Chains A and B, each alone.
Chain A
Amino acid sequence: GAVVSQHPSRVICKSGTSVKIECRSLDFQATTMFWYRQFPKKSLMLMATSNEGSKATYEQGVEKDKFLINHASLTLSTLTVTSAHPEDSSFYICSAPTDSRAAQYFGPGTRLLVL
Chain B
Amino acid sequence: RKEVEQDPGPFNVPEGATVAFNCTYSNSASQSFFWYRQDCRKEPKLLMSVYSSGNEDGRFTAQLNRASQYISLLIRDSKLSDSATYLCVVSPSPFGNEKLTFGTGTRLTIIP
Binding site for B on A (CB under 8 A): 32, 34, 42-46, 49, 91, 93, 95, 97, 99-109, 111
Contacts and interface: CB of A to CB of B under 8 A. Distances in A.
Q: How large is the interface on B (under 10, 10 to 19, 20 to 34, 35 or more residues)?
A: 20 to 34
B57 interface: no
Given A43-B87, A43-B103, A104 B97 contact: yes
Nearest to A45: B102
B104 A42 contact: yes
Q: Main SS of the interface on chain B?
A: loop
Contact of A46 (B32, B42, B43, B99): B99
A13 B41 CA distance: 19
Contacts, number: 56
Interface string B84-112: 00010000001111011111110000000
A111 B32 CA distance: 29
Contact of B100 (A32, A46, A102, A107): A46
B34 interface: yes
Interface of B: 4, 32, 34, 41-46, 49, 87, 94-97, 99-105
A103 B102 contact: no
A100 B98 CA distance: 9
